[in-house]
Amino acid sequence: MEAAGCRARALLLPLWCCLLAAAPRRCAGQTDLKSPQDIQVYVVNTNFTLRWNYTGNDTNVTFSAEYQWLDPKTSETEWKELPGCQNVTDTECDFSSAITEYNDEHLVRVRAERKEDKSPWSSVYEMIPFLIAQIGPPEIHLQSINGVIKIQVSPLESNQDRKMWNLSSFKYNLVIWENSSDAEVRSQNIFPVDTISGLAPETTYCLKVQAILYYQEGLFSPIHCVKTTRKVNYLFCPANLKVSALNMQFHLHWNNPYKQHVNYTVQYLLGFAKQLHDDHSGKWLSVPRCENVTNTKCNFTSIITIISAFYYLRVQAMSEYNKSCLSKEVKIDPLSTNEIGPPSIRVDISDVLLHVQISPPGGDENKVMRERYYLSYQIVYWKNSSDNEEEIKVKEIKQTIATISDLTPSTQYCVKVKAFSEAYNKSSPFSNEECIKTPGEGFGGQLFGSPYLPTAEEPIESCYVIESIIEEVNQNDFKDYKHSKQSSRDSGNYSNDDDTSGSKGSEGMLEKEII
CA nearest 382: which of 430, 415, 408, 429? 415
> Quick one: 180 or 432, whose CB is closer to another protein?
180
* Closest CB 67 distance from another protein, rounded Å: 19
For 264-306, give the DSSP string. Answer: EEEEEEEGGGGGSSS-GGGG-EEPTT-SSBSSSEEE-GGG---
* Closest CB 469 distance from another protein, rounded Å: 24
* Closest CB 217 distance from another protein, rounded Å: 10
> Quick one: 422 or 498, whose CB is closer to another protein?
422
> Quick one: 376 or 462, whose CB is closer to another protein?
376
From residue 53, alpha-carbon distances to 58, 72, 84, 85, 280 in Å are: 11, 31, 18, 15, 50
> Quick one: 36 or 138, whose CB is closer to another protein?
138
> Quick one: 105 or 433, whose CB is closer to another protein?
105
* Closest CB 240 distance from another protein, rounded Å: 13
* Residue 197 C-beta-side C-alpha neighbours within 13 Å: 7
Q: Which residues bind another protein (CB under 8 A)?
A: 103, 128, 130-131, 166-169, 176, 178, 180, 183-184, 186, 188-189, 197-200, 203, 214-216, 270-272, 275-276, 305-306, 308-310, 331, 333, 335-336, 371-372, 374, 422-425
* Closest CB 312 distance from another protein, rounded Å: 11
CA dist 322 and 497 (Å) reads 76
CA dist 321 and 234 (Å) reads 12
CA dist 174 and 149 (Å) reads 12
Contact by Cβ (8 Å): 357, 344: no
* Closest CB 271 distance from another protein, rounded Å: 6
> Quick one: 326 or 435, whose CB is closer to another protein?
326
Contact by Cβ (8 Å): 63, 110: yes
CA dist 53 and 90 (Å) reads 10
CA nearest 354: which of 303, 408, 398? 408
* Closest CB 227 distance from another protein, rounded Å: 13
> Quick one: 199 or 435, whose CB is closer to another protein?
199
Question: Can you say how many angstroms the Cα of residue 204 is from the centroid of all Cα atoms in its chain?
Answer: 33
